[in-house]
Amino acid sequence: MKYPRIGHGIDVHRFGEGGSITLAGVNIAHSQGLVAHSDGDVALHALCDALLGALALGDIGKHFPDTDMAYKNADSRVLLRRVFALVQEKGYQLGNCDLTILAEKPKLAPHIALMQQRIAEDLASTSDSVSIKATTTEKLGFVGRQEGIEAHAVVLLVPISGS
């Protein structure tokens, strides 16, 4: 018998050159970009790690190593869909996910509904199963100094009926 599984993920990226960032699959105008091998989507990277962790399948670096040029500038939504295919192969579906994005800037509130929609699409779910919160660190740490962005994700996976 299969039981529900819980996973947690975290990711950080520092700011660098560029004029926009991608968070939870949404492109957001910003004075800087995020330094990364892929598109630097910290929210989706944390979510991938949470999904993989829930089923003890390793982490995003194991599945999509930054030493592999095939993933250079990769769209993290594509990576998320590949990870979720592994979840489904193991007989699980999303119960819900909860993400927290830590950033001083840009302000993320205007983008959260679209972020929820994009993630729900990629995880064969509905927006009410996807929680996204944005907060600051009250000017503390690297996020507070506006040196980068951090994201945390928690997922609950439930067995697919009949699997």
158 is in an annotated binding site: no
22 is in an annotated binding site: no
Integer Rg of the chain from CA: 15
Report residue 98 as tokens. 């909860």
137 is in an annotated binding site: yes
136 is in an annotated binding site: yes
38 is in an annotated binding site: yes
37 is in an annotated binding site: yes
76 is in an annotated binding site: no
Q: Which letter, b or e, does each residue of 46-67 get, where b requires 16 or more Cβ atoms within 10 Å of its Cβ?
A: bbbbbbbbbbebeebeebbeee
65 is in an annotated binding site: yes
**Gap between the Cα atoms of 45 and 38, Å rounded:** 10
126 is in an annotated binding site: no
* Sheet hosting strand 92-102, strand order edge to edge: 33-34, 5-16, 148-159, 92-102, 130-135
12 is in an annotated binding site: yes
**Gap between the Cα atoms of 151 and 22, Å rounded:** 12
45 is in an annotated binding site: yes
Residue 157's nearest CA partner among 12, 57, 20 is 57
13 is in an annotated binding site: yes
Do 95 and 109 touch, CB atoms closer than 8 A?
A: no
142 is in an annotated binding site: yes
Q: Which residues are annotated as a binding site?
A: 11-13, 37-38, 45, 59-61, 64-68, 135-138, 142, 145
* Residues in the annotated binding site for a divalent metal cation: 11, 13, 45
